[in-house]
Structures are given as structure tokens and as C-alpha cells.
Chain A
Amino acid sequence: MTSLSELALLLVVLSNFVVLGTSRLSACIRAIALQGLLLGALPFLLHPVMSVHTVSLGIGTAVVKAGILPWFLRWAIREAAVRREVEPRIGYMASMILGAVALAIAFGVASALPLELVETDLLVPVALVTVMIGLIVLTTRAKAITQVVGYLMLENGIYLFGLTQSQRVPFLVEIAVLLDVFVGVFIMGIVVFHINREFDSISSERLTELRD
């Protein structure tokens, strides 16, 4: 199953770059939903022995990350009447280059870190690159809802890293799903208060009063 799991991990990297390069919010959300589905499949691909632990982790992750959260994001866009463009602070090309740099760093760092008990060499670098691209999206996109997508990617990267320990330490990866609570809170915040840009604009007024 190694080759299948490596294929899934490569698709995770690909979905990261789709989010970096696309100008449409709907494409972003499709990519993040695909990523969620892959994350749900990975426990099965990495640990083919079926246990209650693996099955519940895989299905739970897929339901939350590929089902509930993307649906919630789409609902927020409709409800808060968010415009459909991504609005990056830096260009798409620059974003992609940053992503490529992140990819290089991730593989460099991962090869320097020793890891016993690992199922595939790709897991750690893909986890790191997903964390880093999540951070890039979080900091370089102006809209609150795109930042939520970035946070979701950051979180997915942490989940991927947790998979290296899931057989050894019980209930460790499971708590990563608790981070999704924040995502839910953010989306609710956007819908209820129509926070369309980073910290501003309820209705038409900008909110950037707090500064020194």
C-alpha cells in the first residue's frame, strides 16, 4: 500500500498548490475538500490492518474535513455575500514561488530529522510543506474566509505529522481534530458579523482602529 499512500501524499501537495495558484474561492474550497478526503484515506493506506481506531479516525476525518467544513465555508460565502475572488496581497506567481521554496525547505529539513517507525519517507516532508503553505495563505490573503482556508491547511499539515505517531501514542491525532472547532468559530464569526476582510468591514465600515 506504500505506493498508494505516496500517491495520496503527492495529491495533498498538489492540492496545496491549487489553493496557492487559483483566483477563485470555489476552487480553493474544492481543493481543501479533496485534501480532507485524502487525509481521511491516509490512515487506511498507511495502516492496512483494520482496527476500530483506524476506521473511526479515517471516517471521522473525512466527514469533518471533506464534508462539514467545506459545506460550512460555501454556506458562509453565500450567507455573508463574500465576493468570489481570492484577493491576494502578493501575486499568484509570487505565491507559487514561495510555495516551491517551502517545498524545498520541507524536503531538506525532513531529510535532516531522524525518524524511526515511519511508513513512508514522504509523510514528514508533506506534513511540513502543508504547514508552511498554510501559513503562506494565512498571511498573504486579504479575505477572512481565505485565511480560514489557510488555517485549515496549517491544521491538515499538523494532522499529517500526527499520523507518524498515531500507532504509538493513543488519542494523539484525534485531538488535532479539536482545532477544527476554531475553524467553525471563525466561519461563524464571518457569517454573523460579515467580516469580509482580515479584521475589518462589518457592513461597509472598515475596522482598523486598533493600533499604536
Chain B
Amino acid sequence: MVLLALILAPALAAALAYLLPAVGRGVLMIGTALVHVALVGTLWVTPGEQAFGGWIAEDPLGRVILTLVSVLFLAVAHYAVGYLRVENPRGGRAFASCMLGFLAAASLVTLSHHFALLWIGLETTTLAVAPLIYHRHDRRSLEAVWKYLVLSSVGIAFALLGVFLLATAQPSGAGRPLVLEDMILHARALDPMWLRTAFVFMLIGFGTKMGLAPLHSWKPDTYGEAPSLVGGLMAGALTSCAFLGLARVLSICFAAQADAFVRPALIAFGIFSLVIAAAFIVVQGDIKRLLAYSSVEHMGLLVLGVGLGGVGSYGSVLHALNNGFAKVMIFLAVGNVVLATGTSIAGDIHGVLRRLPVSGVLLVVGLFAVTGSPPFGMFISEFTIINAALDASPWVAAAVVILLAVIFVGIAAMILEMVYGAASAPEHRDEPARSEERMRLAFAPAALAVIVLGLGLYLPGPLAEALSSSAALLGGRAP
């Protein structure tokens, strides 16, 4: 029941949001998010629920990602209410509807234990975020949304072909077709040739949705043009759902002992994503596009960790969590700066700390959180992945450390230049309204900053347990 409510409640709210007046929409969005978080909380108390004969079920890995999506949505929904007061060309009706539709689809992805359902969920997330990207209704955002739709629809088509190939790999009599548990249970019976082909197509398909290099070309344009909170939601929640899709097929590959085929491909994609991210971060002039390349970096780390195996798999799942919280946090902080200055070109923004002290501090905190500096959570997960690299080969570890250092310098150089110095550009909003907005818009990123910091200092017992069993599923172990 709880599982179905997690999917249906936001879906119903999405329909309702289209009918309600503006005030009601804000309450509905935050209310649905609160109910969703509470329902997810009950899953941690009584795990292992199922529905529809095991097609919908929850397991530790799905629960971790679902929790991430749910908390992120609450933060973004709270932020969105304040944001829509400032920048809202179309009344926000479709905006609220699509946000809630995204939550329903993302919940479906995390709870699907049947590959066809998982695929339907991912396709729906793609369609749900497209109108959000086009929120500003100008030429640039139109180009961005068109690119996003073309590339991710090809990706999603490849993923579907992967699902078909996976079905082909499963012989009759080896469990229910395409149900995750049965496929893992009968993994040895799968045809290795078809399984490999399925993995290749799913890696390309889900990799496009994650934005792994060289399949990332939609990412900078989309994150650059979408409203910051939408960019955050995509970088934090949508990419994590795509990673989960990849992780699902990987858990079958590992159970079928196809390690020798799977791991090199993941490591190659991971390293290449880090290289591309480092190269483009150093020369980037736009803060939102910079964050897009930072997202490419972290997606690379996710597949790298799973590819390395051992403690790397544990690090990857933890990293998905940290990356989600940190990314949304810094996107919202950047969003405040962009709202106040009207630009996301870093060279035109100076003295953020003077003009917007709260957002300025959040931006600096975000800089350290998103680059994996201690004491933030991402430090621990990156450290775990580097440890796994050391176990595999010192060269890989050295390459990763150097690339991470380059990325840190690139991001730090841009953000510190924005934050310090005299305030540029004249104010274009009156003071009392601005400070009121600032409080409303600063709450969500501040709350997320506390979570990222908390994850760096203390890992709750049930979470650590869930991470360990997820790592075991992904061919690794707990540290």
C-alpha cells in the first residue's frame, strides 16, 4: 500500500495542481512532498514491502535513492514556492504539475523491480522535466529543451532495446521474465552473449540520461538554460535515477559473473568523464554550465567506483547520496545569485558576499561540499572510491587524484572570484522585498548544507547497513 501511495499520491497531486489557483499549488506541492518524505520514512521502519506480484518492491539500494529523491524534492518544492514569486512568466500551473509528475515517475523508477516498469518510469521523467527546462520561454531555453529531448529520447530508445535484449538473454523457465530478483537468482542461466549486448545498450542508454562523457553533450546546455532549481533537480535526482537503472542491470551482470566484460567499460567511461569534466571546467565562463561539467565529473566517479568494485561499490552508492544533496544545494545557492544579478556569466558577478551575504556563504560552503573537501560527506565517498582505485592500480588512483585536484582549482577559482570583491552591477530590486525573498530562498539550500555536512560527520546505522547490502549487490563490499 505504502509503495503504491508513493507513486500515486504525487501523480494525483500533479493532476490536482493543474486545477488549483496559485496559492493552493504551493501548499499542495509542499504538502505532497512532506507526505512523501513521511511515507519514505515508514519504509525505513518496515522494509521489504511488495506489490503487484513483485513488480513493485523496495530493497536497500532503491530505498537509498528513493530517500534522496524524496528529500531533494521537498527542498526544491519549498524553494520553488519562493522562486515562482520572483520569476514566473506563465503562472506556474504547468511548472507545479510537471514537478509533481517528475516525483511520481522518479518514485516509480526507484520502486520498480521489473525492467519494463523501470523503463516506463525513466521515460516519464524525461517528458516531465522538458516543460520545466522551457520555463523561461525564450529562444535559448527552446534550443536547450530541443537538444535535451532529441538526445535523451535516443538514449531512452537504446535503453529499451537493452531491455528487449535482456529479455532475450533470459531462457524460458528461469524465473519470471524481467523481474529483478528472479534474474539475479537465475543469473547463471542467462545467455552470456545476449547479456553482454544488453549491458552495452543499457550502458549507452542510461549513460546518456546520467550524462557520462562522451554522451553528455545535452548537459551543459540544459543546466545552463533551465531555471537553477530544475538544473538542481536534474543533477541531483534525475541522474541518480538513471544511475539506479544502470545499477539494476549491473547487479544482474555481477551475479552472472560477467565482471571481466563489465568492469573495464565502466572504468573507461568513468575516467573519460573525469578528463572531459576537468578540461571543460578549467575554461568555463558560466557558473551553471560549470556545475553541469561538475555533474559529469560525479557521474564519472559513480560508474568508476562500481567498475573498480570492492569498497568502490560502497563508495559509489554513498557518493550518489552525497552528490545529490550537494548538487541541489549549490544549484539553489547559484540560483539566488542569478536571480539577484540577472546573469550566470561568472565574469559579470562580483562581491556576492557583500550583496547577498547568506547566498554568498552558501556558495562558498557549496564549493567545498561539491568538490569533496573535508568535513563534507563527499570527501568520505570520494576517498572510498580512491581507496578502491589504489587496490586496483596506483596509476588509476593517481590519475583520479590529479583530475579531482584540477577540477577543484577550476571550480574554486570561479566561485571565489564571484564571492569576493566589490559589488558590481547596480541593484535592481528594492531592499525590503529582496531581504524577504532572501530568507525564503535561502532556507532550502541551508538545510541541504546541514545534511551534506551531517553525512560527512556521522553515518546513521540503518543507512550504513543499506549501503553495505547495496554494495554487496553491486559486486563490492563494505569498507
Listed in ascending order, the chain A residues whose CB lies under 8 Å from chain B are 112-117, 131, 135, 138, 144, 147, 151, 154-155, 158, 161-162, 164-165, 168-172, 175-176, 178-179, 181-182, 185-186, 189, 193, 195, 199-200, 202, 205, 207-210, 212
Contact = CB atoms under 8 A, between A and B. Distances in A.
Interface in B272-304: 280, 283-284, 289
Contact of A172 (B139, B167, B197): B167
Contacts of B130: 185
A207 B154 contact: no
Given A131-B161, A138-B154, A179-B153, 12 more contacts: A116-B171, A151-B150, A158-B164, A161-B165, A164-B168, A168-B172, A168-B177, A169-B167, A179-B157, A200-B143, A207-B143, A210-B143
Nearest to A170: B177
A164 B169 CA distance: 12
Contacts of B177: 168-170, 172
Interface stretch (B85-93, B115-123, B404-412): B115-123
17 contacts: A114-B191, A117-B172, A138-B154, A147-B150, A158-B157, A158-B161, A161-B165, A164-B164, A165-B167, A169-B177, A172-B163, A176-B160, A178-B120, A181-B127, A185-B149, A189-B146, A207-B140
Contact of A151 (B140, B147, B154, B194): B154
A161 B220 CA distance: 34
Interface in B442-479: none
A182 B149 contact: yes
Contacts of B156: 179, 182
Contacts of B280: 212
A210 B160 contact: no
A154 B143 contact: no
Interface in B133-167: 139-140, 142-144, 146-147, 149-150, 153-154, 156-157, 160-161, 163-165, 167
Contacts of A131: 161
A200 B150 CA distance: 13
Contacts of B116: 171-172, 175
B196 to A, nearest CB: 10
B138 to A, nearest CB: 10
Contacts of A135: 154
B178 interface: yes
A155 B177 CA distance: 22
7 A-B pairs with the lowest CB-CB distances in the bound complex, closest first: A210-B221, A169-B177, A182-B153, A207-B143, A165-B167, A158-B161, A169-B167
Contacts of B191: 114
B193 interface: yes
Per DSSP, chain B at the interface is helix
Contacts of A114: 191, 193-194
B224 interface: yes
Contacts of A158: 157, 160-161, 164
A115 B172 CA distance: 12
B211 to A, nearest CB: 15
A176 B163 CA distance: 10
Contacts of A165: 164, 167-168
B109 to A, nearest CB: 14
Contacts of B167: 165, 168-169, 172
A199 B146 contact: yes
B225 interface: yes
B114 to A, nearest CB: 10
A210 B139 contact: no
B407 to A, nearest CB: 16
B297 to A, nearest CB: 15
A155 B142 contact: no
Contacts of B146: 144, 189, 195, 199
Contacts of B163: 172
Interface string B215-250: 000001100110000000000000000000000000
A113 B194 contact: yes
A117 to B, nearest CB: 8
A76 to B, nearest CB: 14
Interface in B34-84: none
A172 B179 CA distance: 13
A210 B178 CA distance: 40
Given A116-B171, A179-B153, A182-B153, A172 B147 contact: no
A199 B147 contact: yes
B244 to A, nearest CB: 19
Contacts of A176: 160
Nearest to A178: B123
Given A165-B164, A178-B120, A207-B142, A154 B171 contact: no
Given A158-B160, A175-B116, A189 B149 contact: yes
Which of A147, A181, A205 neighbours the largest number of chain B CB atoms within 10 Å of its CB? A181
Contact of B140 (A154, A170, A210): A210
B157 A155 contact: yes
A161 B119 CA distance: 17
Contacts of A208: 143
Contacts of B119: 175
B294 to A, nearest CB: 14
Given A161-B164, A169-B178, A185-B130, A207 B157 contact: no
B140 A209 contact: yes
A50 B139 CA distance: 51
Contacts of B153: 151, 179, 182, 186
A147 B146 CA distance: 12
A165 B171 CA distance: 11
A135 B289 CA distance: 28
A115 B168 contact: yes
A162 B143 contact: no
Contacts of B171: 116
Contacts of B123: 178-179, 181
A182 to B, nearest CB: 4
A64 to B, nearest CB: 16
A172 B147 CA distance: 28
Contacts of A168: 167, 172, 177
A175 B220 contact: no
Given A154-B154, A178-B123, A210 B164 contact: no
